[in-house]
């Protein structure tokens, strides 16, 4: 299968050391990323590096280079060939299977594992971008005591001293990221057995009301787990299941199964504009509390409750017809709701599902594996108030930033972190944490698959992971490898098998529990403006604020990046006389933040959405505002707020403004009923552009097909492309002047009189057969190859930018400045060796991942065969959770892409210009309910 | 008023005109010469190596195959360099005390790789793949010359784009090997 | 008075006395020094701007995607346009036997050369990697690569370089007899030698004059078509592309007219101060000003027709993109540019219908400035407003110039002033020999 031939998966236990040491030598000791006078330069350090002579012409004599041979050739590493590690990465404590590419023992790319049910080869933005955290410049390199260099030894001494006072760990609190892996569970019990008084908190800064709801219903903590491949009708109450950090990939794939056949219908009632809302066939934008009334009303219509709500007449009608349809589809209907709804409301939704017979297949529950003796945050706050905390150890979590506690009075504080943050600033001991890719661990996926995670290389710095750290302070100094191996005690054979497949075993965690009825209490009312604080789709709770890819990735609907904004609806903006970029003061009793406004059509009126995770102190400090400030200790994420204009203005970095261009239809939408009526377009319109001067191959003609009906705008392809093709980030200022470098962008189009409907269109170079860019290049740096690729030759480009002017799709990207960081050599190690890193003054664009085509071609030639259909997958195609992207050979009539191009509703954007694009799109198909159309 | 120019200056001006053209031609010619010469192409230039390794001795003398040391050549884009371990496979015994081989033993002791100086160095924007050339029956000699008869290796071919194209233009069964993406990505 | 093209009292002697004395006299007016200083400051600005550009890259300008060309190409086209009047006056008017060209052709040609030099800077520095500019020239190389001859930018390279060469030769040949005059009149030996070398042994013999006349007319015949060709090619940079607002068949004539329009404006901008400062009223008479302003008026109307046709074609094509660009120009975010240039290039020249204004140096001077600005705005409009909103609304953008954009523009103006001042100091700004002939003919 595509370059991920399982034979090549790494199985040896400790990656060969000498290559690693040469790698150690390569690492500079340098400053953190966002610090320094010239911030542009500095955060370019976030990624990218250039070969010394990248883009130089051959008239320059290259300097002498060294060849470094290895001392002892590592087993199963063929120099110049990548190997792939099957492992998993943790998302909110649950593992997701990934395949990590390692080139000469350098991890360079993370993709989903094709065999792991929670990813099925796809991967989310967060998973993709984790590779950048591995190489982050500001990782803590050695233990620090009071900010001064120290050692683990010294820390251990201190720890022993601490234990003399508190032998049983009295008043010791350990805050750790949610981690449901067997390894951590075991380590925790070892720890508690030795220090019975120690308290653990599984610290999630954005704690939903899910567990409370589950307690209410089942008396224990269960997590709802859905199967979207079954239900024909789905209704989501403010729950964006596409972007669920744990199960989003699976949900997207499942949903796509029926959506690709137009066999399901999605309703969405939400406050914010989410991916789910954009995909929905019918969408209502309502505030948090009116959503609860709608739920109550639906429950009444479905005969779950007797109480019913007072609603506007159109809402009543809406619910009525929805209820009618759901009754019709008994057994194949599903209602999902936000985890931030009040517990009783969530309970009500579960009851409706039971009534609709969703419990048989499309809805089930899994164990949360949260440790029953875990304390709550509130307990910690209490203990701090009563000075009952003798020691506070924070493992990878950042409470000082996201909950305003004061630990200055705590006698012993230690913080194990990958990079400096607000908590390390106040901790006495700051300890370097290993990146998951450099140490052993195990993981449990939400559906119960156990994975044993092996490192891709030994630690780059003097760091430890959670297991090693706890083992250290338990005083039995086990390496994570010995601990995990000891824990599972497998035979060498099984052990290697587990490592190779990335799946040790599958526990059964699915349950269909019975639950007790709960009575619904009407929601507490907010009669003011409703403020929604949400986890940032990419930075989450600020964990990834230091990741340049994620900072620069446009938020799916608003297309803003580098900092957060206050999203509000046009009506509210009009009422408050606000326009984009106006800075407003949002205040929740006494506390207030200042933040620029961004007007977002399709939001619920009288609601403001603000993303959390921005305004970090030492990482990405210039970017955005810390909205955690507004949270009280109760940590309720929907608040009643006041908003007032400050008069000042801050320009927001945004990659796509909202323009109206009537008469053009780059993105085509059709109702399911009219799909049959769509006429096939003539693909060979007359054109004035000359044919490619070279003879076309009889074997291959590469082409792409993108199904707009499946694209949910999740942006995974953008990051997938960025990491595959060494695309630099450019920073806030450059984005503001319109110089972002993403080769593939997700165009967002609004539909309807109030622009309340959103559609997405991934747009990269469409590889025109008659490309306007080619004829105008004075040096022939962009031209056509015999397989229909519109190829861009960086080392020939002189940078007249004429090609971009003449490109109707404006998909060409220009290195206006030296965006690629040549200087921080650690980042060189990340970049993909198969792709030239572009110097300044050079045009670049989507190449259909030509490096993968070449590789496949060579492999095919070595085996004397043709390239098989599906053998080449472009980076964007691999990551896509809904498999909206197809790539292949048009000259092979049986290939998937040929079939898709043959569809009547397959069209080329701007084909009327005679460009003959090789990338074609399938219509976005809406499946509206007839009653609701009127 | 006296004449400031003698009549001979007419000839001078004529001469200077001719001289101008001649110099232009000379400059062009010498530039062309330079880029063809080994000053620019490094053809025949022998590089200082950490160990003065003789291919002649190992290949002609002992009859080793290229692939014995460059063992990735058929599988990968790079031919691969022998590890210290591999060299020591023989040299743990043979010539073990020869001062020439000291760096080799050092390398193992210090666990520090040997650093050879590149002789054939393509620009970084050129993606050359050894395995496919071998597969297509392009012998090592075609690009590297008869290394087997060299006591000390030196580049034998200019390895300029023009030079590569000479073969790529007439690559037999496929015409497509001159498109840019064959070598540049 | 207004009908004569040379002062009544002027004779062959007085002409050469007056004009050569300007060059040969020891001291030069402080006004000239002011001009020179301004020129030098400007030139340094240019130097700094370009140095920083080469250090950092195009990013120091406001250019972006979609607006990948902005000030750089605008300035290029503007300067090239200005560089048209000279050759037009000397070559075409010569062939048309227009006597009144005589007194203005010399400095007009100098202006042309200098303007083309300023223009020539931009195609070079607007490259992302200017150090590879030579890849645009066909020469044998190791990569076995040739330029891509289908690209209008390639045609530019040839068109402009040819134009520079011919205009220079034309200008220099014309200078030879005057250089001889300076050689003979100069007092100091080194000065005489320098002018002597440049005069290449001109003795003014009958054969000399015969060869001279033949060559001069030959070159005129060669240069005349170039006046048309260069800006036609430049216009093709745009007309060849697919971009609505660029892709238009009217561009070649429309650009040439625009070029001569701006060229003559610049001639007036220079001529009027010159005749004042150096008391050349009897050489550059009101008749000259009047004729030039008539050319201005004619070309102005031509340009106006061009604007009209663009709008008309946009509407007539029925193409949604063409129409959008037209509307966007007139009412979009850059509407002010459009209406400014309508005022500068269409409305303001209409005052030239009145004879009294055509003979009023001050008004003409101001008008010429206005037109120069207008023509710059026209190029800005064509380039930027077409680019910033094209086919896909998703990738629409705006262009905001940076300080470096302006410094580069001012810099080239400075360079222009500097070189022109040097020309005034070292070479006769009016063709002595031709004026002598004229004097003989006119004032018998």
Q: How confident is the model at residue C436 (pLDDT cuts 50, 70, 90)?
A: confident
Q: What is the pLDDT of residue C112?
A: 92
Nearest CB neighbour to C65, from listed A806, A813, A913: A813
Q: What is the pLDDT of residue B5?
A: 81
Side by side, the strands of the sheet bearing A172-176 are A148-149, A144-145, A429-432, A412-417, A391-395, A172-176, A199-202
Write out the E strands in A350-457.
363-367, 391-395, 412-417, 429-432, 441-444, 449-453
Rank A74-88, A479-493, A710-724, B69-83 by mean pLDDT and report only the highest: A710-724
A661: nearest CA in chain C?
C393
Which of B78, B85, B137, B176 to substitute to test the interface with A, most A CBs within 10 Å? B176
- Are C241 and A814 inside 8 Å of each other by CB? no
Chain B residue closest in CA terms to C195: B4
Tell me what pLDDT residue A62 has: 56
pLDDT at C392: 92
Region A514-534 average pLDDT: 76
The shortest CB-CB distance from A836 to any of B81, B182, B185 is to: B185
Q: Which whole number is the average pLDDT over C193-213?
A: 90
Of A450, A428, A452, A426, the closest CA to residue A439 belongs to A452
What's the pLDDT band for A57 if we cut at 50, 70, 90?
A: very low
Percentage of residues of chain C with pLDDT beyond 70: 99
A705 close to A920: Cβ distance less than 8 angstroms: yes
- Flag if B180 and A783 touch (Cβ within 8 Å): yes
A67 touching B (Cβ < 8 Å): yes
Q: Which of A772, A805, A817 comes nearest C387 by C-beta?
A: A805
Q: What is the pLDDT of residues C23-34, one digit of tens each?
A: 887 777 788 899
Confidence of residue B112 (pLDDT cuts 50, 70, 90): confident
A848: left (phi over 0), alpha (psi -120 to 50) or beta: left
Residues in A closer than 8 angstroms to C331, CB to CB, are none
Q: How far are the Cα atoms of A516, A794, A796, B176, C255 from residue A780, in angstroms, in the given order?
A: 73, 11, 8, 17, 27
- What confidence tens digit (pLDDT) does each residue in A649-694 have? 999 999 988 888 888 889 999 999 899 999 888 888 888 887 777 7
- Whether A30 has a pLDDT exceeding 50, the answer reads no
Most confident of A519-523, A741-745, B80-84: A741-745
Chain B residues close to A694, C-beta within 8 Å = 175-176, 179
A159: phi then psi, degrees, rounded to nearest 5: -60, -45
Chain C partners of B160 at a C-beta cutoff of 8 Å?
142-143
pLDDT reported for residue A24: 32
Give pLDDT tens digits for C124-165: 999 999 999 999 999 888 888 899 999 999 999 999 999 999
How far is it, in rounded angstroms, from Cα C24 to Cα C19?
A: 9
> Nearest Cβ partner of B13 from C145, C192, C200?
C200
Q: Do B185 and A695 touch (CB under 8 A)?
A: no
Q: What is the pLDDT of residue A65?
A: 78
Compute the distance between CA of residue C246 and CA of residue C310 in angstroms, rounded to an integer.
10
* Chains in contact with B, counting 3 or more C-beta pairs less than 8 Å apart as contact: A, C
In this complex, the residue of B4, B13, B35 whose CB is nearest that of residue C193 is B4
Of A685-689, C50-54, C249-253, the one with minimum mean pLDDT is A685-689
Mean pLDDT of chain B: 88
Residues 419-448 of A with CB under 8 A from B: none
Query: Is the pLDDT assigned to residue B171 strictly greater than 90?
Result: no
- Top residue of B2, B3, B5 to mutate, by most chain C CBs within 10 Å, is B5
Q: Average pLDDT of A548-576?
A: 92
Pairing of strands A529-534, A607-611: parallel
Please report residues of C whose CB lies closer than 8 A to that of B162: 141-144
Give one DSSP letter per residue of C310-371, joined into a string.
HHHHHHHH--HHHHHHHHHHHHSTTHHHHHHHIIIIIIGGGGGGSHHHHT-HHHHHHHHHHH
Q: What is the pLDDT of residue A44?
A: 32
State the best of C129, C144, C186, C193 to mutate against chain B, taking most chain B CBs within 10 Å.
C144
pLDDT bracket for residue A333 (50, 70, 90): very high
Distance CA A857, CA A712 (A): 32
pLDDT above 90: percentage of residues in chain B: 36
Q: Which range scores top for mean pLDDT: A306-310, B176-180, C118-122?
A: C118-122
Cβ burial of B43 (10 Å; 0-12, 13-18, 19+) is middle
Residues of B in contact with C201 (CB under 8 A): 5, 9-10, 13
Q: What is the pLDDT of residue A522?
A: 66
Give per-residue pLDDT as tens, C313-356.
999 988 899 999 999 999 999 999 999 999 999 999 999 999 99
For residue A798, the chain C residues in CB contact (below 8 A) are: 127-130, 132-133, 135-136
Selecting from B4, B5, B162 the residue whose C-beta is nearest the C-beta of C142 gives B162
Q: Do C58 and A816 touch (CB under 8 A)?
A: yes
Cα A783 to Cα A771: distance, rounded to the nearest angstrom? 8
CB contact (8 A) between residue C126 and residue A737:
no
| Residues of chain C contacting residue A802, judged by C-beta atoms under 8 Å apart | 68-69, 151, 153, 237, 241
The answer to whether residue A6 scores a pLDDT higher than 50 is no
Confidence at B172, pLDDT banded by 50, 70, 90: low
| Cβ neighbours around A519 below 10 Å, total | 9
Task: Provide the chain C residues 62-101 that lie in CB contact (below 8 A) with chain A.
Answer: 62-69
Exposure string of C151-180, with b = 16+ CB inside 10 Å and e = fewer, is bbbbbbbebbeebbebbeebbebbbbbbbb
Mean per-residue pLDDT for A448-467?
90
Interface contact flag, B184 A794, Cβ < 8 Å:
yes
Task: Average the pLDDT over C423-432 and give the result.
Answer: 89
Task: Identify the residue among A63, A67, A701 best suited for mutation to test binding to B, counting B beta carbons within 10 A and taking the highest.
Answer: A67
Model confidence band, residue A61 (pLDDT cutoffs 50, 70, 90): low
Q: Which residues of A touch C394 (CB under 8 A)?
A: 656, 659, 666, 745, 747-749, 761, 763
Which one of B1, B5, B160 has the shortest CB-CB distance to C142?
A: B160
Predicted confidence at residue A824, as pLDDT, reads: 63
Q: How many Å lie between the alpha carbon of A877 and the closest alpha carbon of chain B? A: 19
Comparing CA positions, the residue from A733, A813, A816 lying closest to residue C53 is A816
Judged by CB atoms closer than 8 Å, whether chains meet at C196 and B162 is answered as: no
Q: A409-443, pLDDT tens digit by residue? A: 899 999 999 988 889 888 999 999 999 999 899 99
Q: Look at residue C444 in the predicted model and tell me its pLDDT.
A: 63
Question: What distances in angstroms separate CA B124 from CA A54, B39, C198, one per listed residue?
Answer: 6, 21, 51
pLDDT digits (tens, 9 = 90+) for A268-283: 999 999 999 999 999 9
Those residues whose C-beta lies under 8 Å from the C-beta of residue A232, and which sit 6 or more positions away, are A258, A263, A264, A265, A329, A332, A333
- The answer to whether the peptide bond before residue A915 is cis (omega within 30 degrees of 0) is no
B35 in contact with C, Cβ within 8 Å: yes
Contact A801, C66 (CB under 8 A): no
Separation of CA C375 from chain center: 12
pLDDT of residue A37: 31
Structural contact between residues A886 and A704, judged by C-beta atoms closer than 8 angstroms: yes
> Nearest chain C Cα to A805, which residue?
C68
pLDDT at B128: 93
Angle between helices A343-355 and A210-218 (to 10 degrees): 60
pLDDT at A29 over 90: no
Give the distance from residue B87's alpha carbon to the nearest chain A alpha carbon, in angstroms.
10
Between A352-361, A894-903, B48-57, B152-161, the lowest mean confidence (pLDDT) is in A352-361
Distance from CA of C76 to the nearest CA of B (A): 30
pLDDT beyond 70 at C256: yes
Query: Cβ of A22: how many Cβ atoms within 10 Å?
Result: 17
CA distance B22 to chain A (A): 25
Q: What pLDDT is recorded for position A32?
A: 26
Please report the pLDDT score of residue A826 as a whole number. Answer: 64
Neighbours of C92 (CB within 10 A): 18
**Other C-beta atoms lying within 10 Å of the C-beta of residue A207:** 17
Q: Mean pLDDT over all residues of chain A?
A: 86
Instruction: Give the B:C interface size as CB pairs under 8 Å.
Output: 28
Name the closest residue on chain B to residue A51, using Cα atoms.
Answer: B124
Average pLDDT over residues A561-582: 92
Which of the other chains make 3 or more beta carbon contacts under 8 angstroms with chain A? B, C
Give tens-digit pLDDT for A211-268: 888 888 888 888 999 999 999 999 999 999 999 999 999 999 999 999 999 999 999 9
Cβ distance of B121 and A65 shorter than 8 Å: yes
Nearest one of A117, A71, A77, A74 to A94, comparing CA atoms: A117
CA gap A469, C376 in Å, rounded: 69
Answer for the pair A922, A709: CB distance below 8 angstroms, yes or no. yes
Q: What is the pLDDT of residues C206-228, one digit of tens each?
A: 999 999 999 988 998 888 888 88
ipTM above 0.85, yes or no: yes
| pTM summary value | 0.90
Mean pLDDT of C186-213: 90
A666 contacts in C (CB within 8 Å)? 391-394
Q: Which runs of consecutive H residues, i.e. helices, occur in A29-84?
A: 39-44
Mutate to test the interface with A, among C153, C393, C402 (most CBs of A within 10 A): C393
Q: How distant is the Cα of C124 from the closest Cα of chain A, in angstroms?
A: 9
Residue-level pLDDT at A25: 28
Q: CA distances (Å), B182 to each of A849, A853, B125, B166, C164, in order?
A: 13, 10, 11, 14, 41
Between chains, do B4 and C201 touch, taking CB under 8 Å as contact? Answer: no
Element (H, E) at B134: helix B130-135
Q: What is the pLDDT of residue A7?
A: 33
Contact A780 C145 (CB under 8 A): yes
Distance from CA of A105 to the nearest CA of B (A): 16
Burial of A602 (0-12, 13-18, 19+ CB in 10 A): buried
| Binary contact (B85, A59; C-beta < 8 A) | no
Q: What is the pLDDT of residue B1?
A: 55
The whole-angstrom distance between B179's CA and the closest CA on chain A is 6
């Amino acid at each position: 299968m595509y370059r991920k031939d399982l034979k090549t998966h790494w199985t040896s236990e400790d990656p060969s050391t000498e290559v690693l040491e040469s790698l150690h030598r390569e690492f500079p000791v340098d400053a953190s990323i966002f610090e320094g006078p010239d911030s542009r330069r500095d955060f370019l350090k976030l990624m990218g590096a250039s070969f010394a002579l990248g883009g130089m012409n051959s008239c320059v004599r290259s300097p002498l280079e060294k060849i470094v041979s290895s001392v002892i050739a590592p087993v199963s590493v063929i120099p110049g060939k990548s190997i792939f590690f099957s492992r998993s990465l943790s998302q909110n404590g649950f593992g997701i299977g990934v395949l990590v590419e390692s080139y000469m023992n350098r991890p360079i790319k993370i993709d989903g594992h094709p065999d792991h049910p929670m990813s099925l080869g796809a991967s989310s933005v967060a998973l993709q971008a984790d590779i950048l955290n591995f190489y982050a410049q500001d990782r803590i390199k050695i233990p620090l005591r009071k900010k001064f260099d120290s050692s683990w030894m010294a820390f251990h001494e201190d720890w022993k001293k601490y234990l003399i006072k508190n032998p049983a760990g009295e008043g010791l609190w350990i805050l750790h990221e949610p981690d449901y892996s067997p390894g951590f569970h075991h380590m925790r019990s070892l720890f508690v057995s030795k220090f019975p008084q120690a308290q653990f908190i599984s610290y999630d800064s954005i704690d939903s009301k899910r567990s409370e709801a589950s307690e209410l219903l089942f008396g224990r903590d269960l997590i709802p787990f859905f199967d979207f491949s079954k239900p024909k009708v789905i209704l989501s109450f403010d729950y964006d299941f596409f972007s669920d950090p744990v199960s989003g990939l699976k949900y997207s794939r499942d949903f796509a199964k029926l959506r690709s056949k137009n066999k399901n219908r999605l309703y969405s009632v939400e406050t914010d504009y989410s991916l789910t809302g954009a995909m929905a066939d019918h969408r209502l934008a309502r505030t948090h509390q009116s959503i609860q009334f709608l739920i109550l009303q639906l429950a009444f219509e479905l005969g779950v409750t007797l109480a019913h709500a007072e609603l506007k007449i159109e809402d009543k009608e809406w619910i009525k017809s929805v209820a009618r349809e759901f009754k019709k589809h008994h057994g194949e209907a599903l209602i999902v709701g936000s985890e931030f709804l009040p517990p009783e409301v969530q309970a009500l939704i579960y009851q409706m599902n039971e009534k609709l017979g969703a419990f048989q297949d499309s809805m089930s529950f899994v164990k949360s594996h949260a440790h029953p003796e875990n304390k709550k945050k509130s307990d910690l706050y209490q203990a701090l108030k009563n000075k009952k905390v003798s020691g506070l150890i924070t493992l990878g979590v950042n409470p000082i930033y996201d909950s305003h506690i004061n630990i200055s009075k705590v006698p012993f504080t230690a913080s194990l972190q990958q990079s400096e943050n607000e908590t390390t600033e106040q901790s006495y001991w700051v300890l370097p944490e290993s990146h998951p890719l450099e140490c052993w661990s195990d993981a449990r996926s939400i559906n119960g698959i156990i994975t044993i995670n092996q490192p891709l290389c030994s630690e780059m710095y003097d760091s430890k992971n959670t297991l090693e750290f706890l083992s250290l302070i338990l005083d039995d100094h086990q390496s994570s490898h010995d601990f995990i191996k000891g824990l599972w005690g497998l035979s060498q054979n099984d052990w290697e098998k587990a490592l190779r497949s990335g799946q040790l075993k599958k526990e059964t965690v699915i349950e269909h529990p019975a639950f007790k009825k709960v009575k619904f209490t009407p929601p507490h009312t907010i009669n003011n403006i409703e403020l929604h604080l949400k986890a940032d789709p990419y930075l989450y709770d600020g964990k990834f604020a230091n990741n340049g890819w994620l900072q620069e990735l446009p938020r799916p609907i608003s297309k803003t990046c580098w900092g957060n904004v206050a999203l509000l609806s046009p009506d509210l903006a009009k009422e408050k006389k606000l326009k984009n970029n106006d800075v407003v003061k949002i205040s929740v009793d006494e506390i207030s933040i200042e933040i620029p406004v961004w007007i977002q059509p399709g939001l619920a009126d009288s609601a403001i959405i603000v993303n959390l995770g921005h305004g970090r102190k030492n990482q990405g400090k210039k970017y955005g505002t810390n909205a955690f400030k507004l949270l009280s200790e109760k940590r309720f994420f929907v608040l009643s707020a006041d908003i007032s204009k400050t008069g000042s203005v801050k320009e927001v970095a945004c990659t796509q403004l909202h323009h109206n261009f009537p008469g053009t239809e780059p993105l085509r939408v059709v109702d399911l009923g009219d799909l049959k009526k769509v006429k096939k377009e003539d693909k060979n319109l007359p054109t004035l552009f000359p044919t490619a001067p070279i003879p076309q191959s009889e074997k291959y003609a590469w082409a792409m097909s993108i199904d707009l009906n499946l694209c949910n705008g999740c942006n995974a392809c953008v990051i997938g492309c960025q990491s595959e093709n060494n695309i630099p980030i450019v920073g806030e200022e450059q984005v503001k002047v319109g110089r972002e470098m993403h080769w593939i962008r997700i165009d967002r189009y609004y539909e309807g009189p109030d622009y309340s409907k959103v559609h997405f269109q991934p747009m990269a170079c469409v590889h025109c057969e008659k490309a306007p860019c080619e004829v105008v290049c004075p040096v022939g740096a962009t031209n056509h190859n015999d397989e229909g690729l519109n190829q861009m030759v960086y080392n020939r480009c002189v940078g007249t930018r004429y090609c971009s002017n003449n490109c109707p799709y404006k998909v060409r990207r220009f290195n206006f400045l030296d965006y690629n960081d040549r200087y921080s050599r650690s980042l060189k190690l990340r970049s993909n060796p198969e792709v030239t890193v572009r110097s300044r003054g050079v045009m670049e664009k989507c190449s259909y991942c030509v490096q993968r085509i070449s590789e496949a071609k060579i492999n095919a030639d070595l085996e004397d065969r043709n390239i098989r259909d599906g053998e080449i997958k472009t980076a964007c195609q691999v990551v896509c959770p809904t498999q909206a992207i197809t790539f292949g050979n048009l000259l092979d009539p049986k290939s998937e892409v040929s079939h898709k191009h043959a569809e009547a509703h397959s069209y080329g954007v701007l084909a009327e210009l005679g460009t003959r694009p090789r990338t074609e799109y399938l219509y976005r198909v809406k499946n509206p309910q007839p009653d609701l159309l009127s | 008023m006296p004449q400031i120019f003698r009549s001979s200056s007419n000839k001078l001006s004529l001469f200077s005109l001719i001289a101008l053209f001649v110099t232009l031609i000379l400059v062009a010619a010498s530039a062309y010469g330079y880029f063809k010469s080994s000053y620019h192409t490094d053809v025949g230039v022998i590089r200082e190596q950490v160990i003065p390794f003789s291919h002649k001795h190992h290949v002609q003398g002992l009859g080793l195959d290229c692939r014995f040391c460059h063992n990735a050549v058929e599988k990968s884009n790079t031919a691969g360099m022998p590890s210290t371990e591999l060299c020591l496979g023989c040299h743990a015994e043979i010539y073990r005390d020869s001062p020439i081989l000291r760096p080799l033993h050092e390398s193992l002791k210090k666990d520090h790789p040997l650093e050879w100086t590149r002789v054939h160095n393509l620009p970084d924007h050129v993606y050359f793949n050894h395995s496919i050339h071998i597969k297509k029956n392009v012998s090592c000699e075609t690009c590297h010359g008869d290394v087997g008869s060299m006591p000390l290796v030196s580049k034998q071919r200019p390895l300029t784009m023009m030079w590569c194209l000479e073969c790529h233009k007439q690559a037999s069964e496929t015409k497509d090997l001159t498109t840019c993406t064959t070598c540049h990505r | 008075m207004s009908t004569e093209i040379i002062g009544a009292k002027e004779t062959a002697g007085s002409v050469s006395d007056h004009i050569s004395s300007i060059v040969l006299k020891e001291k030069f007016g402080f006004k000239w020094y002011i001009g020179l200083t301004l020129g030098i400051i400007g030139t340094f600005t240019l130097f700094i701007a370009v140095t920083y550009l080469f250090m950092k890259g195009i990013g120091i300008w406001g250019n972006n995607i979609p607006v990948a060309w902005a000030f750089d190409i605008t300035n290029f086209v503007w300067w090239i346009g200005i560089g048209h009047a000279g050759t037009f006056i000397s070559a075409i008017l010569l062939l048309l036997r227009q006597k009144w060209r005589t007194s203005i052709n010399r400095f007009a040609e100098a202006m042309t050369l200098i303007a083309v030099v300023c223009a020539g800077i931009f195609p070079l520095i607007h490259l992302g990697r200017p150090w590879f500019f030579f890849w645009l020239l066909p020469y044998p190389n190791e990569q076995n690569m040739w330029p891509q001859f289908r690209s209008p930018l390639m045609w530019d390279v040839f068109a402009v370089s040819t134009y520079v060469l011919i205009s220079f030769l034309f200008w220099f040949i014309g200078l030879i007899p005057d250089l001889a005059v300076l050689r003979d009149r100069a007092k100091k030996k080194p000065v005489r030698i320098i002018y002597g070398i440049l005069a290449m042994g001109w003795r003014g013999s009958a054969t000399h004059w015969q060869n001279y006349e033949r060559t001069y007319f030959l070159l005129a015949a060669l240069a005349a078509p170039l006046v048309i060709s260069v800006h036609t090619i430049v216009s093709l940079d745009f007309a060849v592309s697919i971009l609505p607002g660029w892709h238009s068949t009217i561009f070649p004539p429309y650009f040439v007219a625009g070029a001569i329009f701006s060229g003559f404006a610049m001639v007036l901008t220079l001529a009027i101060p010159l005749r004042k400062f150096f008391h050349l009223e009897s050489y550059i008479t009101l008749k000259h000003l009047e004729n030039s302003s008539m050319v201005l008026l004619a070309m102005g109307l031509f340009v106006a027709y061009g604007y009209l046709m663009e709008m008309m074609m946009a509407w007539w094509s029925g193409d949604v993109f063409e129409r959008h660009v037209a509307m966007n120009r007139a009412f979009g975010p850059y509407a002010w540019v459009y209406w400014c240039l309508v005022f500068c290039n269409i409305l303001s020249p209409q005052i030239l219908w009145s004879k009294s204004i055509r003979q009023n140096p001050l008004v003409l001077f101001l008008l010429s400035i206005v037109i120069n600005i207008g023509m710059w705005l026209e190029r800005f409009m064509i380039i930027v407003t077409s680019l910033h909103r094209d086919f896909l609304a998703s990738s629409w953008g705006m262009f905001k110039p940076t300080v470096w954009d302006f410094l580069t523009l001012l810099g080239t103006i400075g360079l222009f002033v500097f070189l022109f001042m040097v020309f005034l100091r070292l070479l006769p700004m009016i063709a002595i020999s031709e004026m002598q002939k004229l004097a003989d003919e006119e004032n018998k």
